[in-house]
Amino acid sequence: MKPKIAFDLDEVVVEMCGTALKEIFNPYFNINMSKKLWLSYHFEEVINSLHPEKLEKPLTFHDFSRILKENSDNGFLENLKPLDYSIETILKLESEGFDVSYITFRSTLFYNKPQERTKYWLEQYGLNPDKVYFSQDKSKKMDELGVKLMVEDMPHTALKIADDKKVLLFSYPWNTKTSEDQLLNKKTRAEKHELIDMIEADKNITRVYDWKQIYNKIHEWKDNQISF
C-alpha cells in the first residue's frame, strides 16, 4: 500500500499570510505590519496588541473572518503563490509512490466559494484537486483517510493530531516563542507560550523549517515508522 501523507494548505503549500497582510489587512487598518509580527494564530489578538490605536473596540475572531471574506473576492485565493519548493517536492513525492492529500480549514466562514477557488489553484500547479478535503477537524479527517502523518503550522491543530499521529510543524512566529512576543498583550502571550511549551514537549511533533527538511523527514518516517 502507498504510504499516505497529508499537507495543510495555507503556510505549508501556499503562502497566504504575507499576501493577506499586504493586500487585505494592512490597507484595511492602515498599518504596515510584516509577517514576522504575525505572532499569534489569533490574528485579531495580534492587531489588538500591536495596533490598539487603530481600533474603536478590540477585534474579535468574527471581525477577522469577516474582513477576510469581504476583501477576498478579487482573485485573492486564486493568485496566492506556492511556498518555495512545495510544488516540486509534492510532485516528487507522488512520483516516488506517496499518496498525497491536502486537508484545509478554508471554509465559507473566511471566503466565498472556498472549495471551487482552492481546487482551481491546485489545478493551476498540477496538483490533484480531487485530493483536497475541507474540514474543521483535521485529526478526524486523517483517521477517515487512514493518514498517519501531516504537515501543519497551527499549534492547536498540531497538538490534537499528535494525540495519536505524527506532525511535522512548519515553523512560524505564531508557533514559536520569539523576542517580539513581548509586544503581545499579557494574556495573549501567556496563552501562546503555554501552547508552545506543550508543542515542544510532544514527541509526536517535529519542527521543520523548509520543504527540503519536510522531504527528508517524510522519508525518515517512511523508512522507520516507529522512531521519528
Cell output for 128: 490533484
Helices (H), the chain: 17-20, 26-29, 43-50, 61-70, 86-95, 114-124, 138-145, 155-161, 186-201, 211-223
For 89, the enclosing helix (H) or strand (E) is helix 86-95
Cell output for 165: 499521529
Closest to Mg ion by CB, 11 vs 45, is 11
Closest to Mg ion by CB, 10 vs 44, is 10
CB of 224 to Mg ion, least distance (A): 27
CB of 35 to Mg ion, least distance (A): 13
CB of 80 to Mg ion, least distance (A): 12
Closest to Mg ion by CB, 8 vs 44, is 8
CB of 172 to Mg ion, least distance (A): 9
Closest to Mg ion by CB, 61 vs 96, is 61
Query: Where do contacts with Mg ion occur on this chain (CB under 5 A)?
Result: 8, 10-11, 153
CB of 55 to Mg ion, least distance (A): 25
> In a 3-state reduction of DSSP, which class is residue 9?
coil
Query: Could you say which DSSP state residue 200 is in?
Result: H
Beta-carbon contacts of residue 176 (< 8 Å; ≥ 6 apart):
196
Residue nearest to Mg ion (CB): 10
Closest to Mg ion by CB, 35 vs 51, is 35
